[in-house]
């Protein structure tokens, strides 16, 4: 059974070790207000700030945000540009707080297409925060899970071709270690806002056993209290990992 907690309170001993968020709904949020889509992204970046702070305060060890997908490169140039500017602003504006709160920042995805300035800023922030241990914030940027898996296959194949890896020795751990998320725990909880019910090429390998939480809330409206509701829902679920109920209960007690 899930441990009981005070109404509305979260069990700090059973927080997800890694939360992934698909931040959807910025465009609709803006359109509903007669604004340009980029204004929705700007409002979305305020929600990012609130959710990062909330995770840090709660003690969630890893938060991954799907900031820009490989497919998003196909959006109108103006929108792509606006998103890149927002990322750049976000890094500059949050730098001090990220340092003060000892958050480690890493990226997932292929940064080669990302404009040089944003890429340099992000890589500098990663370098500056690499020793931080209080929380990890992973920004999935120019990220697609299938592309990430293909990259991992190429890395493994290159090592095998060089005679440094036996093909028969390639198992789940080796694949995991070749992904952009190497060293991070798999997500326990994946949240998608905006009412759509799909994963859209986000952490497909890593999310094999993630609990999924879909919220109708558009991302700019997503607040700390929505995050807490998602975590409370996660804590109310029994995760069986393919075992029977009895076995899962035993595992929980252990």
In contact, 52 and 224? CB cutoff 8 Å: no
Q: Which of 11, 72, 110, 221 is catalytic?
A: 72
Which residues, in sequence order, are CB contacts of 231 under 8 Å at separation 6+? 10, 15, 16, 19, 58, 60, 189
Name the residue nearer to ligand FPP (CB basis): 40 or 207.
Answer: 40
Minimum distance from residue 235 beta carbon to ligand FPP (Å): 26
Query: Which residues are registered as beta bridge partners of 137?
Result: 63, 105
Strand partners, 108: 140
To the query of whether residue 173 is one of the catalytic residues in this protein, the response is no
Pick between residue 10 and residue 67 the one whose CB is nearest to ligand FPP: 67
User: Whole-number minimum distance, CB 196 to ligand FPP, in Å?
Assistant: 7
Identity of the residue, 222 or 234, whose beta carbon is nearer to ligand FPP in the bound complex = 222
Nearest distance from C-beta of residue 241 to ligand FPP, angstroms: 31
- Position with the least CB separation from ligand FPP: 27
Interface ranges with ligand FPP (CB under 6 A): 23-28, 41, 44-45, 48, 65, 67-68, 72, 83, 86-87, 90, 139, 194, 219
Long-range contacts of 238-244 (CB under 8 A, 24+ apart): 238/2, 239/209, 239/211, 241/209
Q: CB of 50 within 8 A of CB of 224?
A: yes
Q: Is 201 a catalytic residue?
A: no
Shortest distance (Å) from residue 48 CB to ligand FPP: 5
* CB of 152 or CB of 202, closer to ligand FPP: 202
Cross-strand pairs, 233: none
Helix, strand and coil in the chain, % to nearest 5: 50, 15, 35
Q: Which residues are catalytic?
A: 24, 72
């Amino acid at each position: 059974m899930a441990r009981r907690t005070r109404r509305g309170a979260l069990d700090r001993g059973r927080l997800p070790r890694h939360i992934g968020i698909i931040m959807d709904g910025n465009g609709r949020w803006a359109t509903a207000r007669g604004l340009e889509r980029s204004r929705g992204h700007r409002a979305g970046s305020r929600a990012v700030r609130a959710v990062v702070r909330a995770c840090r305060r709660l003690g969630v060890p890893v938060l991954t945000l799907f900031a820009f997908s490989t497919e998003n490169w196909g959006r109108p140039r103006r929108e792509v540009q606006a998103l890149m500017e927002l990322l750049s602003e976000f890094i500059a504006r949050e730098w001090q707080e990220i340092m003060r709160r000892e958050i480690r920042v890493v990226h997932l995805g292929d940064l080669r297409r990302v404009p040089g300035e944003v890429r340099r800023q992000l890589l500098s922030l990663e370098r500056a925060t690499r020793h931080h241990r209080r929380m990890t914030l992973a920004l999935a940027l120019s990220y697609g899970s299938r592309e990430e898996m293909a990259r991992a296959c190429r890395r493994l194949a290159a090592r095998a071709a060089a005679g440094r890896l036996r093909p028969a020795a390639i198992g789940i751990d080796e694949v995991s270690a070749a992904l952009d998320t190497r060293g991070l725990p798999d997500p326990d909880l994946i949240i998608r806002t905006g009412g759509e019910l799909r994963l859209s090429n986000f952490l497909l390998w890593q999310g094999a056993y993630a609990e999924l939480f879909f919220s109708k809330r558009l991302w700019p409206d997503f607040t700390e209290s929505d995050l807490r509701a998602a975590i409370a829902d996660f804590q109310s679920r029994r995760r069986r990992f393919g075992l029977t109920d009895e076995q899962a209960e035993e595992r929980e007690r252990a």
